[in-house]
Amino acid sequence: MGFLEFVRGQRVFGFAVGLVIGTAASVLVNSLINNVIMPPIGKLFGSADGLRGLVWDMGTTASGEQAVMRYGVFLSDLVNFVMIALVVFWVIKLLRIEMVSRK
């Protein structure tokens, strides 16, 4: 079995195209979240950096360094994950509807 037969038979090409489109969609969703959604949310919480700018200053350590918990970064990543998961969910749902309607 040659390489081209393997690619055609195993639908590797379709998988690769899906992977590239998925990566591009992830970049687009990240941009939407970081540049459109997060700034107004951050402004509501008093941060110019969106959710990523939210920190909790816990004081200084014994060595005199600032102890800062950057919980906003976690919240931002959580929102990012949820949004990407929703986009993937809707794309899969739309593809299933398309495939069912073709049968």
Please check the confidence at residue 8 and state whether its pLDDT lies above 70: no
- Distance, CA of 12 to CA of 40 (rounded, Å): 42
**pLDDT on residue 86:** 85
Please check the confidence at residue 1 and state whether its pLDDT lies above 60: no
| Helix H or strand E segment including 79 | helix 71-102
**pLDDT on residue 48:** 74
Which among 46, 66, 65 is positioned nearest to 57, based on CA atoms?
66
Please check the confidence at residue 18 and state whether its pLDDT lies above 80: no
Please check the confidence at residue 6 and state whether its pLDDT lies above 70: no
* Residue 33 CB neighbours (<10 A): 21
**pLDDT on residue 53:** 82
Instruction: List, in order of start, the domains of the chain with CATH numbers.
Output: 3-102 (1.10.1200.120)
C-alpha angle 33-38-89 in degrees, rounded to nearest 5: 35
What confidence tens digit (pLDDT) does each residue in 25-80 have?
Answer: 888 888 888 888 888 888 888 877 777 888 888 888 889 888 989 888 898 888 88
Considering only residues 3 and 22, tell me which one the structure prediction assigns the higher pLDDT. Answer: 22
* Residue 18 CB neighbours (<10 A): 13
